[in-house]
Amino acid sequence: MEQERLQKFMAEAGVASRRASEELIRQGRVTVNGERAALGMRIDPARDVVVCDGKRLSGREAHVVILLYKPRGVVCTSSDPEGRKTVQDCVSEIPQRLYNVGRLDINSEGLLLMTNDGALSQRLTHPRYGVEKTYYAVCDGKLAASEIALLVNGVMLEDGMTAPARVENVRTTQRGDTAFSITIHEGRNRQIRRMLEAVGHRTLRLKRERLGPLTLGNLQPGQWRRLSDGEIAALMRALGL
């Protein structure tokens, strides 16, 4: 069999994304034929014995991709030292070990993909592919036209100017706050909250409703479903796979 990069083999075995697999290798948690693995090494999956955290990896695992409605108050980690509920708790009945694709902060809710397909996860989170993400947002007070223009054209944050966004369906709530939809294609940490803070507003609610061609549909918080073959094909097309 043709040799392949170790992190690619690990991703296809369902350990983690390629990037996360590289970190496991750096930490010395991976061995090949009993020797500590090194970044960049190539292996023969048919002959070499790869072990991660004491568990031998057996090659490509059947890929699972699910769409979870992450509730507020749930953290996007495998475990939480503070004992808070995690996204892993939401999908505990699935036998495969799944990893969340990107993150939603603890106070945000909505669409979150979880998968053991490391290649898909890497492509979805890579900034080069710019997968669109649409959120329903509510911020305090009235969002002025000049502030909307800043969100649309780009806001200067501590990590640089944001890319253009779409802001639609702007309306005033009964309490006098502002509800709207915003679409971005970057994946910076807490980006929308920081964008709103930069124009003088606090985020009261943030819900991801769409990721590329995928939507929440009728899912309720904490519910999940497997993607259909058609949805996976549409997602692959959006990613150029």
Name the residues annotated as catalytic. 105
- How many Å apart are CA 63 and CA 84, to the nearest integer? 28
Q: How many CA atoms lie within 13 A of 161 on its CB side?
A: 6
H runs (alpha helix) in the chain: 6-12, 18-26, 87-90, 118-125, 145-153, 191-198, 229-238
- How many Å apart are CA 118 and CA 101, to the nearest integer? 9
User: Partners of 68 in the beta sheet?
Assistant: 112, 224
- How many Å apart are CA 236 and CA 219, to the nearest integer? 22
